[in-house]
Structure 1
Amino acid sequence: MIRSFIEVEPESHFPIHNLPYGVFRDKENKEPRIGVAIGEFVLDLAVLDEHGFFDSTGIGGKRVFRQASLNPFMQTGKKVWKEVRSIIQHLLKEDVPTLRDNWDLRNQAFKSQKDIELMLPVEIKSYTDFYASKEHAANVGTIFRGKEKALMPNWIHLPVGYHGRASSVVVSGTDIYRPQGQTKPLESDQPIFGPSKQLDFELEVGYFIGIGNELGSPISVKDARDHVFGFVLVNDWSARDIQSWEYQPLGPFLSKNFATSISPWVVPLEALEPFRVKGPIQDPEPLSYLKVEGLNSFDIHLEVFLKSKNMEKPQRISKSNYKYLYWSIEQQIAHHTITGCNLQTGDLMATGTISGPTKESRGCLLELTWRGKEPIQLDNGEQRIWIEDGDEVIMTGWCQGDGYRIGFGEVRGRILPPKELDLHNKKHLSFSK
């Protein structure tokens, strides 16, 4: 049980065992840079780099930590990630005086998390969202097609996914405007246009590709972990009424492209390794390129809270776990690249909604309310079928160790009314003389 000279409470998400990476700036220095979270503080890695602590890794002085994204550091590869993490962890140990007793350096390197602004941690090149939870897929299929046809024939043979919109991925705390689009009410023969009335959240976990692959060269399941830099929480907001009208035959489009929220701290894959568990039994056995062995999942406890504008504090409405996922990240990466598709540094991959076997472990409102038939009762007397304007959704997650947690912090987002649509584009008119 290693300890840091920085005091960390047992329920803190950021002990010395974690050390997640993030991009931040503070009031004194507006320049974005990279740090790691430790307790209630952030340790500025640019400062440590300038003092020569990373010279042995080969990246010393290359300013990879004085950047507005983690991408340059992610490109250095697994060997450097491991060395840098080892150096940081050593410097933070309670019995190592190098940083502990150098108060001038400590004052330069540590900032209170209360005094910083966390930014989008990665310059995201592409975004892929999977559909990897069998319970979620079965629930949604049952709602729309009945229990006998809940899963589509291909689902148990491959990790279903779709390409999302990277440009609208936003960091936790960003307000989300209610999307507008075409919907087709059940009682109508024709579609109508207007704000989505069935806005939903999706409880997901995402992971960033650190090192990609060459075009035409697939990544095998046994090598997939070497390409993963770290994990974040993901809320892939979903407009269900827009989706139900648009999704045939090509799947989600406008119903997903308006916003995806992620947590700001990227938890290194190495920090999660002690919490590996066996994933669900896969029947039928996957094809050879998708076969995995050993512990291929993680025991990550996940929770969702909702806070309406009339509530003083958030109320938990869902409790799930990453270990319920049917398709592992190794299988997702292997399937994604089996065609020769080239993943790149900064690509975001997400699991899809994570649901479990019980009602409280369902990972979205579509399932929790069974498409409106079972409204959620809030403590202040309100009910929810879908997200309303002013509602804030907060997700959190952690792995529970012996006296410590490896946590993700949280991802939160508040829904605002839709922006007024200027059908005549008056705000953008320009006239030449």
Structure 2
Amino acid sequence: MLPLELLFSRAFSEDPYAAYAELRASGPVHPIDFPQGATAFLVVDHEHGRAALSDPRLSKDVAHSALPVNGEQFFGGTMLAMDPPDHTRLRGLMAKAFTARRVAELRPRVQEIAAALLDGIAARGEADLIEELAVPLPIQVICEMLGVPASDRARFREWTAVLTVPALTSEARARRREAARAFNGYLIEVIAERRARPADDLVSGLIAARDGDAALTGAELLAGIALLLIAGHETTVNLIGNGVLALLQAPDQIALLRARPELLPSAVEELLRYDGPVERASQRIALEDLEIAGTPIPKGAWVHVSLGAADRDPAVFEAPDRLDVTRAPKRHVAFGHGPHFCLGAPLARLEGEIAIGGLLDRFPDLALAVPPTDLRHHRTGSIVRGLRSLPVRITADSEAIAR
């Protein structure tokens, strides 16, 4: 059985793909000690992982777990932990206020925000791209969509940092409870304000969204906004950070992308596949005894799908450990698959394309400011995959060269 400690080890956080390759070589499904005390399995190939993500026999509701789950599951009241028909109804209502048209209309504003952030980097000639681009860009975009004032955005980043990390100790659980209390309290005030005085923002749109006579309940509205605020920026932070690092370590691919900027959309898809922002999909619980790739999965067992492992499966992607911006890997599962496919994927793609494209266009001599071995990833139990920092440098005349 794979130990829980493996998922939090430095070796795994720096390179999970080597571990996944070894696991995949011995089979697609492996028992794992996560959560502790539960019967749980990790799926590490593309075929069975993708199928599991849309298998109706696997529930998102931890109430079906054979292991009692405490009441500290912050995302328990969101779509992440629901099955049809409740999930279908909620997703439909959320989608009404989070459409492709609304995302497309955001492009000029996202470009404006990104340009201002890049101006700051150009002025200094060096930056931590995580703190100075990857974090502030999506936070500002989603907060503006939700009507959250600029003065409160730092608080949301702090709350998110706590709520997206597994709470394995009593101290961590206490921090999570406090963050959830503060986060929910703030959003309750925002919702009350928009009910009294509707505005042209996403919160007001969600309040008004209806499916026939049905609207979001107060609890559903609160949970949905919380999920959008967290998922609406955390994924993009890691897409930008992981993607830029991958390109900086593949100078031939940067050169190709600069020579052929029309490849940028397909390059973003390849970056999602190569080193995606979400390492492991959220839990599935077996509703009945079943098998995955011949491995018996008892009723009540937890099934975890490694998105990172699936997207490096050589049975689907030729030379999967090689970055290839011409690949256009349409079958990647970086945003999941099936009914729980990431609702915010179009926004994350847009932000990633603008941020990465802007960096390559403005800074032709962009380079790491530290050896790659000095970089560290967050150790978050393989839920999300992202860098703690990404120091880069440019020369003083970098933008002159670009022009």
- Common topology (TM > 0.5): no
Larger Rg: 1
TM (norm. structure 1) is 0.24
The TM-score with structure 2 as length reference comes to: 0.25
Q: Could you say which structure has the greater relative contact order, defined with CA pairs below 8 angstroms and 6 or more residues apart?
A: 2
- Structure with the larger helix share: 2
Greater strand fraction, Structure 1 or Structure 2: 1
